[in-house]
Amino acid sequence: MKNKKILIVDDDVHIGNMLQELLAQNGYETARAYSGTEALYVLKNSSFDLVLLDLILPGINGEDLLPMIKDIPVIILSAKLGVDNKVDMLMQGAADYVTKPFEPKELLARIHVRLHNAPQKKDTLVYGDITLDKPSRIVKANDTPIKLTKTEYAILITLMQYPKKVFSKDDILLQIEDMTPDCDENSLRTHIGNLRNKLRSATGKDYIEAVWGIGYKLAKCD
């Protein structure tokens, strides 16, 4: 079985060396990035199973980098102790938050859990009555196709890939910009409303929930 590969994003050379040695001793492959800008370059050119991300970085900081990391679980490693900061990072999509200094055994345990529970990159996504087939870009409700616009499809696949995550408007726009670059903050609400109405018409259920003051998520599926 191929070893899991982890990207360490931290400008502190001492901490980075310690993490690299710890992970190597436990069977993980690693790579390093010393700034947010470098991390983006590395992520575009290599595949990883998990990212360990410090928040205070030169160039693009960790808080701004987090929503740019797509389809990979991210564990925040930070000396910031505030509860509000932890909540913000988790709401923005971090898989976990570990405060520095940390116990190596605890970090390894959290890494193991996040890798085990990482979202699968499946060709077909299923949530309740809705099925989304990535290769064909066909969306069905109870086996009946639903006709969606390019933007509606991009929003739906974003929500279905992380069904428990609350996405802010900015998060959604970042996720869908490659598929539908013409969508902006002013039109996003309209697209989400149209998508919600189409799913409701096809299933009789509200599948998209507005989270007041934050953004949107998939509604709980019974």
Average pLDDT score over the chain:
87
Q: Does residue 143 register a pLDDT over 50?
A: yes
- At residue 205, the 3 state secondary structure works out as coil
CB within 8 Å of 184: residues ≥ 6 apart? 173
Residue 186 burial (CB < 10 Å; 0-12/13-18/19+)? Answer: exposed
* Cα dist from 121 to 30, 58, 124, 129, 163, whole Å: 21, 31, 9, 20, 14
When pLDDT is cut at 50, 70 and 90, the band that residue 1 belongs to is: very low
Does the pLDDT value for residue 48 go beyond 80?
yes
- What's the confidence (pLDDT) of residue 142? 83
Separation CA 89–CA 94 (nearest Å): 6
pLDDT for 133 beyond 50: yes
This prediction's pTM: 0.56
Q: What is the pLDDT of residue 68?
A: 87
Of 65-69, 92-96, 126-130, the least confident: 92-96
Res 170: pLDDT: 87
CA distance 164 to 187: 24
Which residue, 220, 25, 31, 26, is CA-closest to 128? 220
CA distance 123 to 90: 26
Contact of 28 with 6, CB cutoff 8 Å: yes
The pair of structure tokens assigned to 162 is 């992380």
What per-residue confidence (pLDDT) applies to 81? Answer: 66
Q: What is the mean pLDDT of residues 82-90?
A: 75
Give the residue-averaged pLDDT of 125-151. Answer: 90
Collapse the DSSP code of 3 into the 3-class scheme (helix H, G, I; strand E, B; otherwise coil) and give the result. coil
Q: 25-29, 139-143, 155-159: lowest mean pLDDT where? A: 139-143
* Mean pLDDT value of segment 21-29: 94
Q: How far apart are CA 65 and CA 47, in angstroms?
A: 17
Q: What is the pLDDT of residue 95?
A: 85
Residue type, 200: R
**In this model, does residue 80 exceed pLDDT 80?**
no
Q: Is the pLDDT of residue 118 over 60?
A: no
pLDDT at position 122: 61
What element of type H or E holds 39? Answer: helix 36-45
Sign of the Cα pseudo-torsion (26, 31, 32, 35, in order): negative
Residue ranges and CATH numbers for the domains of the chain are: 5-116 (3.40.50.2300), 124-218 (1.10.10.10)
